[in-house]
Structure formats: structure tokens, C-alpha cells
């Protein structure tokens, strides 16, 4: 069995490729390197450079490598920026997914694991998000992921696609120091950049109704996330029935202050975060239940907060020492 990983040269996608290899499954990577890094693709793994919008390239890659299933990670992932770039977001995430599904059908591939997002929920009015929590995305990014799930649903009816979507909040950590999060928008790299530049990280609000006054969120280790994608792929290979979507959540979450404390401990850089005003619309707590994924996909939190921070810091240091343009 060979799995195509779209976006397989990116932070999350490269961890999925790594996990597939460790599980003894073959993979092929398709990535346009708009945010990925060619150096993230392991030696021996075929790499097609290009966009999922290029249907001919997608179909040729599927045929030439005997692909039997797709793990679809590629997409424009910046929720905040998507508000300023809605058309680009929809083109990458909606049109791109439609092109991929069209070419999968042309080749006769009927298995897909879709990397979705908890952004489909928007700001839920419940403290624990389940798969049945109403969907109310608040950005073009969240909307595009929800539409992607609809495309899977409709293609299942029209063409017998067997698929599942994995929804998650904040992905952190590293499964290898050589695979790092280079996003300019994610919390961990932002804090690490501030610390190494001698700036003081900020906390937006410390007067929320939470144990320490700061917001509580779901943070999951990227390696745990990758393992869930691989297990979903294996279940589809085995012909098992999966739910249309699963939350990959911690069930309890961690606070922003807990993250800052762990970062000071791990990095050895003592600091007291600056307290900034609350950001409008930030709920006190959003945490997802992972019960259904634990039942069906062997989902569990294999890494604690300190391990998340330590692995991310090691990767960040290696990145700093190398060429950030890789």
C-alpha cells in the first residue's frame, strides 16, 4: 500500500510521512513548498513538487507511484490571515481539495484521510467540544475546512469515497529535531523567537475564569497527531468503517501561563510574561474531547507539556543553527 501525502514537506505533513515509514507503509509526497521544506522529505521517499491545483500533476503522481490512498494535509492554514486573503484560502483549500478528489476518482482511489481543523467549530458555547458541537466557523480558513468535509461527504455518496476527517486545535512539538515548526503565526515559534531575541513574551489577559486566570486551550504533540493519521489510513486499508470526523483533543487542555512556565524551565531563560489586554472574542476555555478517536484510532496524548516544549525547543535551536530558508 502506498499513500500520497499532500503537503508532506510541511511541519505536520512531514511528521505524517515519518510515521508512515516507521509503520512500514510506503509514501509519496506532493508539495509546492509554499510553506514546506524540501529537506523535510526523507531520502528514498518520492517527491513531486507542485500544487494540488495542478490536476495533471496530481493524476500523474497517483498513477506513476501506484498510490492506493491519500492523506490530505496540504492547505492554507493561517486562520487570521485568511480573513485578508479569502479568495486565496478558498482556492487552495476548497478548489484544491475538489481537484484532488476529481483525480482520485479518475484513477480509482477511494481512500482519503483529511486533515481538517477544530476551526470548523468557531467559538463554541460549550466547555468540551465534541464531534456533535454545532459548526460555526469564524474565518475563511475554518469555512474552507468545513466545505472540505462536505466535499468528502458528497463524494462518498457520488463515488463511494471512503474517508474520515481529523479535527484538532493547536499542534506543537517535534518528532525529530530536524522537523520544526517554521510558521510565523504559531505560539511556540513566536515565543521562542522572542526569547532568543531578548524580548519578553506576552500573555493576552490574565483575568479569565480559569484556575490561573489565563486562557486554556488544547495543545497536542505533532507526533501524536501523525500517528492518528496513520492509524486512520490503516483502518481504511483494512476496510473498516470510520466516522466522518474525529476530534483529536486532550480533554482537559493547558493554560497559556502553564505553557510560559514550561518554556522558562525548558529553555533556561527566566522571564515574567508581560500581561497585555484581552483580545476581543477570546473565550476562557476551549478543549475538545478525544473519546471517539481514542476508541477508533488509538488516539492518546503520549507526550506531556514539558515534552512538547522540550522537543519544539530542540528543533528550534537546530533550525537557528542552520539555514532557515531550507
Q: What are the DSSP calls for 230-276, one per residue?
A: HHHHHHHHTT----SEEE---SS-EEHHHHHHHHHHHH------EEE
Helix (H) or strand (E) holding 214: none
234 vs 230: CA distance, rounded Å:
6
Ramachandran sector of residue 33 (left: φ over 0; alpha: ψ -120 to 50; beta: rest): left
Per annotation, catalytic residue among 141, 208, 219, 246: 141
Enclosing domain of residue 86: 2-171+220-247
Residues 229 and 203 in one domain: no
Is residue 326 a part of any domain in this protein?
Answer: no
Q: What total of structural domains would you count in the chain?
A: 2
Residues 201 and 111 in one domain: no
- Of 289, 252, 240, 324, whose CA–CA distance to 130 is shortest? 289
Instruction: Please tell me the predicted confidence (pLDDT) of residue 280.
Output: 74
Instruction: Please tell me the predicted confidence (pLDDT) of residue 320.
Output: 80
Residues 254 and 243 in one domain: no
Instruction: Please tell me the predicted confidence (pLDDT) of residue 325.
Output: 44
Instruction: Please tell me the predicted confidence (pLDDT) of residue 37.
Output: 96
Give pLDDT < 50 ranges for the chain: 324-326
Instruction: Please tell me the predicted confidence (pLDDT) of residue 282.
Output: 77
Residues 199 and 231 in one domain: no
Active site residue 141: yes
Helix (H) or strand (E) holding 170: strand 170-172
Task: Tell me the pLDDT tens digit for each residue of 90-118.
Answer: 999 999 999 999 999 999 999 999 999 99
Cβ–Cβ under 8 Å, residues 20 and 227: no
Residues 130 and 274 in one domain: no
Query: Cα-flanking dihedrals φ and ψ of residue 276, to 5°?
Result: -100, 165
Cell reading at 165: 476527517
Residues 214 and 224 in one domain: no
Instruction: Please tell me the predicted confidence (pLDDT) of residue 284.
Output: 85
The residues that bridge with 59 in the sheet, in sequence order, are none
CATH of the domain at 229: 3.40.50.720
Cβ–Cβ under 8 Å, residues 25 and 34: no
- The model's pTM is 0.94
Alpha helix locations (H) across the chain? 11-22, 55-64, 79-82, 86-90, 96-107, 140-159, 187-196, 222-237, 256-267, 291-297, 305-321
CATH of the domain at 189: 3.90.25.10
Q: CB burial class (10 A; 0-12, 13-18, 19+) of residue 269?
A: middle
Amino acid at each position: 500500500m502506498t499513500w500520497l501525502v499532500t503537503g508532506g514537506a510541511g511541519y505536520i505533513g512531514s511528521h505524517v510521512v515519518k510515521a508512515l515509514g516507521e509503520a512500514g507503509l510506503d509514501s509519496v509526497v506532493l508539495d509546492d513548498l509554499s510553506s514546506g521544506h524540501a529537506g523535510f522529505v526523507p531520502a528514498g521517499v518520492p517527491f513531486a513538487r507542485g500544487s494540488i491545483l495542478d490536476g495533471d500533476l496530481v493524476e500523474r503522481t497517483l498513477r506513476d507511484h501506484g498510490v492506493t490512498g491519500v492523506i490530505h494535509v496540504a492547505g492554507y492554514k493561517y486562520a487570521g490571515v485568511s480573513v485578508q486573503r479569502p479568495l486565496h484560502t478558498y482556492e487552495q483549500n476548497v478548489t484544491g481539495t475538489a481537484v484532488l478528489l476529481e483525480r482520485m476518482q479518475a484513477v480509482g482511489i477511494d481512500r482519503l484521510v483529511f486533515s481538517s481543523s477544530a476551526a470548523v467549530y468557531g467559538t463554541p458555547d460549550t466547555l468540551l467540544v465534541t464531534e456533535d458541537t454545532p459548526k460555526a466557523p469564524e474565518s475563511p480558513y475554518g469555512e474552507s475546512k468545513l466545505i472540505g468535509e462536505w466535499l468528502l461527504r458528497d463524494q462518498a455518496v457520488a463515488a463511494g469515497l471512503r474517508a474520515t476527517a481529523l479535527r484538532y486545535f493547536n499542534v506543537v512539538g517535534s518528532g525529530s529535531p530536524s522537523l520544526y515548526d517554521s510558521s510565523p503565526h504559531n505560539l511556540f515559534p513566536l515565543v521562542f523567537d522572542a526569547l532568543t531575541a531578548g524580548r519578553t513574551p506576552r500573555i493576552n489577559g490574565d483575568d479569565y475564569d480559569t484556575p490561573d486566570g489565563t486562557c486554556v486551550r488544547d495543545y497536542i504533540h505533532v507526533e501524536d497527531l501523525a500517528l492518528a493519521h496513520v492509524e486512520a489510513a490503516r483502518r481504511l486499508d483494512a476496510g473498516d468503517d470510520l466516522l466522518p470526523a474525529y476530534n483529536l483533543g486532550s480533554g482537559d487542555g493547558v493554560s497559556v501561563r502553564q505553557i510560559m512556565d514550561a518554556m522558562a524551565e525548558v529553555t533556561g531563560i527566566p522571564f515574567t510574561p508581560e500581561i497585555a489586554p484581552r483580545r476581543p472574542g477570546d473565550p476562557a476555555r476551549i478543549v475538545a474531547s478525544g473519546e471517539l478517536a481514542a476508541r477508533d484510532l488509538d488516539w492518546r496524548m503520549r507526550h506531556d507539556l514539558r515534552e512538547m516544549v522540550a522537543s519544539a525547543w530542540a528543533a528550534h535551536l537546530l533550525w537557528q543553527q542552520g539555514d532557515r530558508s531550507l
